[in-house]
Structure 1
Amino acid sequence: MSSPFATPESQVSAGFHYFIYGWRLILQRKLMPFVVFPIAINAVLMIGLIWLFFAHIGGLLDSLLPSWLEWLNVILIPLIFLMILVAFYFAFTTLANFIAAPFNALLAEKVEQQLTGEALTDTGFGELLKDVPRMLKREWQKMWYSFPRLIALFLLGFMPVVGQSIVPVLTFIFGAWLLAIQYCDYPFDNHKISFARMRNALAQQRVMNFTFGALVSLFTMLPFVNLVVMPVAVCGATAMWVKEYRRFFLGESSGEFGGGASGSTLIISNNKPSSNHLVER
């Protein structure tokens, strides 16, 4: 029997559902204290990087633009400005994710506890501190997964026609996939599920996860709204984990994700993701 989320259309709907559900979750009073930390980190980093950007943009433009190319200022300055802006955006995203990783993991834990009524075995601030090195190692794994592919896309951008037409689309698609990995990873990592297994699980419902990541990407581009997107994405991704993946990975079925040795298929119920409704048939 096939899953209700097997078709691309239903997976797109599911991606929207979990992103919208993330907005509902951040308004929960019990979760509010854990939502504040990622927002505060985002705000401080954004203010600092905006100040650095505008304080040094003039000098960077002068240093990157040779005097013998001054006649191309009209064309090159906007391109260099855009390149520096993209670099600052990735610096902000990378730095924010590294610093906020422990707080995002704690938020994912509290969201899962609220949705399922079950607490993780190892909880508390002391246990969180012990897990910080593992969390930072996980962030490095995500970074090393993304950098070679981003560099390849950057180099493809210099190719005539392809660089101006296909590469921007590929970059957006890959960026959406990276954001899905980034935020879905927190609940997976809380249960110490390997990075490779997590990626494989998300790939089984790629359209749903791409839709979720694309929405996160689009809202990240909106001023002020982007300050709250991080906790929204963590909450939505955790709701996705609870309903789509949790039962399988916590040992209630066997085999690799997507149908194991028993030949079972993972079926999703139509109930709201307020508890674990992932069932096997």
Structure 2
Amino acid sequence: MGGFAEGVGFFVKGLGWVARHPRWWLFGLIPALIAFVLYAAALVWLAMNAGDVAAWVTPFADDWGWRGLFRTLVGIVIFIAGLFLSLITYTAVTLAIGEPFYEKLSEKVEEEFGPVPGGDQPFWSSLFRSIKDSLMTLVYVLMLTIPLFILGFIPFIGQTIVPVLGALVSGFFLTVELTALAMERRGLRRKDRFAILRSNKGSALGFGVVIFLTFLIPFVAIIAMPGAVAGATLLVRTRLTPPPLMR
């Protein structure tokens, strides 16, 4: 429990850091805002066209007398699935869009505690690696969350156990995404990063779950994203990074 609370505390510290550095908070808002606009446009389009999408995926229901009701229900499920997918991919997409922004923000956080580990990496090389790692992480997320999404329609289980498991899974992978910048700076690749986070599950879950729950509040994801990046950097530097890699 102590590790979980410690993880929550790092998110609070990250928010405190950007509160003390409003210029960097505004800087970090740019990619989060761009991603939000893209997602909002996609969800609005899906809401307006859910019926057509439902008709397209259910051609077998053309001759059903109750096809209208059936396709309305299918359309609702499609929109809920789109909303669910947006929640679990928003951070990865925002980090991919904002790679240069968040790299600078993360470095600025580290500068307050001493020399920044690692050296400058070619932009395109780090961007492509970040996208590749994000896609791999997304595959893992979908493998775990799609079954949970389906189980969510089961009475009682879907309203009690599934939301808790969903928050834990989503929270862990949010930590994976957010700590990637600071860990890559230390020369750690995806396999090594996962190993470190698994060995610090309490802190990783506490940090990610509180961010996941915070991001469920409309518009808060935009405001809190710079703080999440700053908190992840502090988490890596002071808690997760093995002593031999500290500079």
Q: TM-score, normalised by structure 2?
A: 0.81
Structure number with bigger Rg: 1
| Aligned length, in residue pairs | 239
* Mapped contact 1:22–1:232 kept (Cα < 8 A): yes
Question: For residues 105 and 196 of structure 1, do their structure 2 counterparts lie closer, same or farther at Cα, with a shift above 3 Å needed?
Answer: same
Instruction: Name which of 117, 120, 138 aligns with 1:120.
Output: 117
Question: How far apart, in 2, do the equivalents of 1:95 and 1:70 lie?
Answer: 35
In the alignment, structure 1 residue 24 sits paired with structure 2 residue 10: no
Q: 1:38 corresponds to which residue?
A: 28
CA contact (8 A) 2:92 2:177 kept: no
With a CA cutoff of 8 Å and minimum separation of 6, indicate the structure with the bigger relative contact order.
Answer: 2
**1:104 Cα deviation after fit:** 2.1
Per-residue CA deviation, residues 210-230 of structure 1 (Å, 9 max, x unaligned), is 111111111112223211222
Residues 221-257 of structure 1 show CA distances to partners (whole Å, capped at 9, x for unaligned) of 22232112221111111111121133524179xxxxx
1:124-143 equivalences under 5 Å are 127-143=122-138
Residue 41 of structure 1: how far off its partner (Å): 1.4
Q: What is the alpha-carbon distance in structure 1 between the residues aligned to residue 192 and residue 118 of structure 2?
A: 21
Is 1:190–2:181 an aligned residue pair?
A: no
Partner of 1:167: 162
Relative to structure 1, is the Cα distance of residues 192 and 85 closer, same or farther in structure 2, using a 3 angstrom cutoff? same
Give the aligned residue type for 1:169: V
Give, in whole Å, the separation in 2 of the partners of 1:61 and 1:11. Answer: 46
Change (3 A) 1:38 1:19: same
1:50 to partner: Cα distance:
1.6
SS in structure 2 opposite 1:38?
helix
**Quick check: 1:223 aligned with 2:218?**
yes
Task: Indicate if the aligned counterparts of 2:117 and 2:246 stay in contact, CA closer than 8 A.
Answer: no
Match of 1:147 in 2: 142
Which one of 95, 111, 117 corresponds to residue 93 of structure 2? 95
- What are the equivalent positions in structure 2 for 1:48-127 lying under 5 Å apart? 48-64=38-54, 68-71=66-69, 78-114=76-112, 116-123=113-120, 127=122
Cα distance change of structure 1 residues 249 and 81 upon mapping to structure 2, 3 Å threshold? same
- Per the normalisation by structure 1, the TM-score is 0.72
Distance in 2 of aligned mates of 1:71 and 1:61: 10
Unpaired segments ≥5 residues, structure 2: 56-60
Kindly indicate which of the two structures has a greater share of residues assigned to helix: 2
